[in-house]
Chains A and B, each alone.
Chain A
Amino acid sequence: MDMSQYRELFISESREYLRAFNELVVALENDAEDREKIDSLFRTAHSIKGMAASMGYVEITDLAHKIEDFMDKLRKGLLLFEPVAADLLLEGADLLESMVGDVDAGVSGSREFYHFLQRLGDYAPPLKNGDTPTADAKVKEAGREKTAEERSEKGPESGKSIRVKTEVLDNLINITGELITNKHRLMTIGRETGGDRLEKALYELSLLLRGLHDEVLNVRLMPFSSIADRFTRIVRDLARTEGKEVTLEIVGKEIEVDRGILEELADPLLHIIRNAVDHGLETPPERQVAGKQPQGNIRLSALREKDCVVITIEDDGKGMVPSRLVATAIEKGIMTSEKARHLSTREALLLVCSPGFSTAREVTDVSGRGVGMDIVRSTIRTLGGTLAIDSAVGKGTSITLKLPLTIAIIDVLMVSSANLTFAVPVRAILRIMEIGRHEISTDGKNRVFFLNEEPIPLLSMSKILGIVALPPRDKIITLLVTEVRGRKVALVVDRIVGHQEVFVKPVGRPLDRMKGLAGGAIMGNGEVIFILDVANLL
């Protein structure tokens, strides 16, 4: 039988199991008595062994079998789950991960795991009372084993779900996007030629497309856990290296986000979390001096907010001192002292995201690439999101990322300035307003208007776009209130042209060098329109 067609399935399922395995081991370190987790860990090893055996991957089968044996002894109470056991199991998971990687890369070379097996075999911490498990306990365990093995046969997914290649999902969203573009094209023709029947048919087509779009988006959604689970193990390893005690709490694992966004988000989140362990949290003695528990805490949470997902990374460490950040920025030539004087606390904290601010020590090696907070912010912006930082000295730091749920098909507001029509994502607009010229006042060099008593600076879109503004037509001006670098601003435009759902086309090389462009879109009449990346306009 040709098993090659099942290879990809084996790789993806094994990786899923290994991710769960890592998470369970770290959880057991905190509560070694959790029988349910010990059972799950056993089942996970058993499943990996079964899948590898059916594919004929002898080495993976052997190693998983030995780990399964080890787990069996733990769950039967023949061995105690101590930190060394966790280290051994995580090392085993790493070995298995490398072997699965070899299968993925088509490498046939063998991995050396003899010494690992020897250490696994040598592991024998004394039982608490020197007792052996009772006959009764053994009977109960045997019963549990049967149930566990029965459950393990079902695998991670059973019932009415199937696995679909990610390329198929990408194609689906692209085709749906093109259908939406074509719908607008038909609507344009319909408006030009008229006809009730065409209009009715187009209305029905619109409803069907809306349904298709929603369903396609649904199948592309992945739970936040698909990237968040890996951080438990990373935090554990990093804390140990740094001599710190750290607990990572993950909230909102079930929140679903477009897989395109999740994939891009993994490295920035890893950097922020590593930063929190490295630089945010104190060592146990430092925490004790500060009157805190020796164990530091990081909370990674995801929650849905309208059509956005908000991800927050909070630590209860030493926090950041804004004045110190400002001094560093001046020292490094990132900002003049004159400019620094006008910074708000939030803006001062965001200085850590300035290119050149991070020292080499603060740049994390993520997947072989140097990642600093500047790269984190630019990735978040590229995804159409925002980043905000709050920090209190001695209490900790909180970094909030606000991201769209999807990036492929979005609602935009089409606006024009000096005969140039462009699109602004609706999610980036806080308010659309019309104000009289008499409502404008000046604040130093800035023109401002007051919104709920808050002065909002006015920025001319023509000026931002570098085009010649048209002379004002009337006494009313149109504004889009938005947020740039954590500060509310009002963009002055000539006219609101309309609102539309568009399929965002990546602009690709060389237009991707232009800061401020989030993508392009093709309108119903074939016109190309550009979508502005509001957070990167200035």
Chain B
Amino acid sequence: MSNERPRLLLFAVRENRYALDLQDVAEVRCLPLTFPIPWAPSCIKGAMNFHGRVVAVLDLAMFLNVGAMAADGSILVLHRGLANLAVGVDSVGSIIPGEYVLEEDDSNDPIIEKLLVMADGEVKKLAVEILLKRVGEAMYR
């Protein structure tokens, strides 16, 4: 059995760097054309047609209350097993092996699973399940 740590996908929202497990992301693409969703909160940009699936697009910056995502931003479409959700971010960085993480610290913010210390600075690893739970709560009507 491999002991390799999962690879991470790095991205930026405003001045912060974030990460998701690469295995949670199905596709990365430019911000697509979206269509309005009735009753959706303002952090939801709309819905997109993703290979025939109806996928909601979340503006992560707005959801985190740090402004709005860049107009030329990208989206990270989560795997369908997780949710029908794409996370809109300002820019996408690189894919790095888990071994690049020098240290892991706990975070006080439940939406951040770990604070990852790397050679070039700190990255916040998102707790996907908590993010999805909170988005669901924001959608509740």
Chain A interface residues toward B at CB < 8 A = 178, 181, 420, 422, 465-466, 505, 507-511, 513-517, 519-522, 526-530, 532
Query: With a CB–CB cut-off of 8 A, which chain B residues contact A516?
Result: 38-39, 141
Query: With a CB–CB cut-off of 8 A, which chain A residues contact B80?
Result: 508
Query: With a CB–CB cut-off of 8 A, which chain B residues contact A511?
Result: 37, 47, 54, 56, 84, 139
**Which of B49, B52, B83 contacts A510 (CB under 8 A)?**
B83
Known A-B contacts A420-B36, A510-B132; A515 and B54 likewise in contact (beta carbons under 8 Å): no
A-B contact pairs, 20 of them (CB 8 A): A420-B36, A507-B56, A508-B83, A511-B56, A513-B137, A513-B140, A514-B39, A514-B139, A516-B38, A516-B39, A516-B141, A517-B37, A517-B39, A522-B49, A522-B52, A527-B35, A528-B46, A528-B47, A530-B37, A530-B47
Contact between chains at A420 and B47 (CB < 8 Å): no
Known A-B contacts A509-B85, A510-B56; A528 and B48 likewise in contact (beta carbons under 8 Å): yes
Contact between chains at B140 and A514 (CB < 8 Å): yes
Does B101 reach chain A (CB closer than 8 Å)? Answer: no
- New A-B contacts (10) at CB < 8 Å, excluding given A178-B52, A420-B36, A513-B139: A505-B52, A510-B135, A510-B136, A513-B140, A516-B39, A516-B141, A517-B37, A522-B52, A527-B49, A528-B54
Please report the total number of B residues contacting A with Cβ < 8 Å: 27
Min CB distance, B57 to chain A, in Å?
Answer: 10
Contact between chains at B52 and A520 (CB < 8 Å): no
Contact between chains at A517 and B38 (CB < 8 Å): yes
Min CB distance, A500 to chain B, in Å?
Answer: 16
In angstroms, Cα B56 to Cα A223, docked, is 37
Q: Mark B7-49, 1 if CB is under 8 A from A, else 0.
A: 0000000000000000000000000001111111000001111
Contact between chains at A466 and B39 (CB < 8 Å): yes
In angstroms, Cα B137 to Cα A510, docked, is 9
Query: With a CB–CB cut-off of 8 A, which chain B residues contact A509?
Result: 82-85, 132, 136
In angstroms, Cα B34 to Cα A522, docked, is 12
Query: With a CB–CB cut-off of 8 A, which chain A residues contact B82?
Result: 509
Contact between chains at A529 and B35 (CB < 8 Å): yes
Chain B interface residues toward A at CB < 8 A = 34-40, 46-49, 52-54, 56, 80, 82-85, 132, 135-137, 139-141
Known A-B contacts A465-B39, A530-B37; A513 and B136 likewise in contact (beta carbons under 8 Å): yes
In angstroms, Cα B136 to Cα A526, docked, is 26
In angstroms, Cα B46 to Cα A510, docked, is 13
Min CB distance, A31 to chain B, in Å?
Answer: 52
Query: With a CB–CB cut-off of 8 A, which chain B residues contact A420?
Result: 36, 38
**Which of A515, A520, A532 contacts B47 (CB under 8 A)?**
A520
Query: With a CB–CB cut-off of 8 A, which chain A residues contact B48?
Result: 528
Query: With a CB–CB cut-off of 8 A, which chain B residues contact A515?
Result: 141
Query: With a CB–CB cut-off of 8 A, which chain B residues contact A519?
Result: 54
Query: With a CB–CB cut-off of 8 A, which chain A residues contact B54?
Result: 505, 507-508, 511, 519-522, 528
Q: Which residue of A lies closest to B37 (CB)?
A: A530
In angstroms, Cα B44 to Cα A530, docked, is 15
**Which of B53, B136, B139 contacts A505 (CB under 8 A)?**
B53
Query: With a CB–CB cut-off of 8 A, which chain B residues contact A507?
Result: 54, 56, 84
In angstroms, Cα B47 to Cα A509, docked, is 13
Contact between chains at B35 and A528 (CB < 8 Å): yes
Nearest 9 pairs of A and B residues by beta carbon: A520-B54, A508-B84, A510-B136, A509-B83, A528-B35, A513-B139, A528-B47, A513-B136, A510-B135
Query: With a CB–CB cut-off of 8 A, which chain B residues contact A530?
Result: 37-38, 47
Min CB distance, B122 to chain A, in Å?
Answer: 28
In angstroms, Cα B29 to Cα A63, docked, is 60
Min CB distance, B53 to chain A, in Å?
Answer: 7
Query: With a CB–CB cut-off of 8 A, which chain A residues contact B37?
Result: 511, 514, 517, 530
Min CB distance, B81 to chain A, in Å?
Answer: 10
Query: With a CB–CB cut-off of 8 A, which chain A residues contact B49?
Result: 522, 526-528
Min CB distance, A83 to chain B, in Å?
Answer: 51
Query: With a CB–CB cut-off of 8 A, which chain A residues contact B136?
Result: 509-510, 513
Query: With a CB–CB cut-off of 8 A, which chain A residues contact B46?
Result: 528
Min CB distance, B135 to chain A, in Å?
Answer: 5
Min CB distance, B76 to chain A, in Å?
Answer: 15
**Which of A422, A508, A514 contacts B40 (CB under 8 A)?**
A514
**Which of B47, B52, B85, B135 contacts A181 (CB under 8 A)?**
B52
Most chain B Cβ neighbours within 10 Å, of A178, A516, A522, A528:
A528
